[in-house]
Amino acid sequence: MSVLSHIDGKGEAAMVDVAGKAETERTAIAEGWLVTARETLALIEDGAIAKGDVLAAARIAGIMAAKRTAELIPLCHPLSLTKVSIGFDLRPERPGVHVEALAKATGKTGVEMEALTAVSVACLTLYDMLKAADKTMVIDGVRLLKKTGGRSSGGF
Residue numbers annotated as active site: 128
Query: What angle, rounded to 10 degrees, do the helices at 112-130 and 38-46 form?
Result: 90
Query: What is the spatial distance between Cα 82 and Cα 28, in angstroms, rounded to a whole number?
Result: 12
Among candidate residues 16, 37, 14, the one with its CA nearest the CA of residue 130: 37
Q: Are 104 and 26 in contact (CB under 8 A)?
A: yes
Give the three-state DSSP class for 97.
Answer: strand
